[in-house]
């Protein structure tokens, strides 16, 4: 079995739930960006999870991504934006651009995570801001995020990471040929 590690950053616990579900499925080490080892040489695959801030990985993950060199990487992220939205997709591209040298992105997993009620309260006071304020579209988006990740999301996260192990094995086979 190749050696995988999950490394994540999370403030309100959404990303952490996914991180723990994936690490449990993989039976692998799981670290926060604060306690991740400096030396990643024993790991073949880094599963890196973060929440979105300013349309990209939160700062602690930005710093960590720069330290990853010569690894296969899987990204997962939680965010207020809808999964599959341009915002969510572009943030993966931003995360990829932050990696160190010679990394290969094996796959990505993304879903909405409930917004901090304090943030919603703040944004409710800026109805004129169509990107962040309490417009009908944004209120619907905040509502859709409520309660996520839920049990079903965790099942999907586990299925996803299982699929990644298969994809990685096939990649190694192809490299041998």
Binding site for ligand FMN (CB under 6 A): 10-16, 51-55, 78-81, 87, 113, 115-116, 119
Report in angstroms how near the CB of residue 104 gets to ligand FMN at its nearest.
Answer: 25
CB of 37 to ligand FMN, least distance (A): 21
45-53 vs 29-32, strand pairing mode: unpaired
Cα distances (Å, whole numbers) of residue 169 to 1, 30, 60, 175, 177: 10, 21, 30, 10, 13
Question: What is the closest distance, in whole angstroms, from the C-beta atom of residue 79 to ligand FMN in the complex?
Answer: 3
What residue ranges in 9-55 does DSSP mark as E strands? 29-32, 45-53
Least Cα distance to 27 among 8, 41, 11, 47 occurs for 47
If the CB atoms of residues 14 and 33 are measured against ligand FMN, the closer one turns out to be 14
| Cβ closest to ligand FMN, residue 14 vs residue 72 | 14
Nearer to ligand FMN, 64 or 168 (CB): 64
């Amino acid at each position: 079995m190749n050696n995988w590690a999950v490394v994540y950053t999370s403030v309100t616990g959404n990303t952490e739930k996914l991180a723990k579900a994936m690490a449990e499925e993989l039976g692998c080490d799981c670290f926060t960006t604060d306690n991740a080892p400096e030396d990643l040489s024993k790991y073949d695959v880094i599963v890196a999870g973060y929440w979105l801030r300013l349309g990209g990985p939160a700062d602690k993950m930005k710093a960590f991504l720069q330290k990853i060199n010569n690894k296969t990487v899987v990204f997962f992220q939680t965010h207020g934006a809808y999964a599959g939205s341009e915002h969510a997709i572009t943030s993966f591209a931003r995360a990829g651009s932050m990696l160190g040298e010679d990394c290969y992105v094996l796959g990505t997993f993304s879903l909405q995570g409930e917004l901090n009620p304090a943030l919603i309260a703040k944004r409710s006071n800026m109805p004129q801001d169509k990107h962040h304020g309490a417009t009908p579209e944004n209120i619907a988006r905040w509502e859709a995020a409520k309660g996520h990740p839920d049990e079903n999301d965790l099942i999907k996260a586990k299925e996803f990471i299982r699929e990644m192990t298969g994809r990685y094995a096939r990649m190694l086979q192809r490299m041998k040929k």
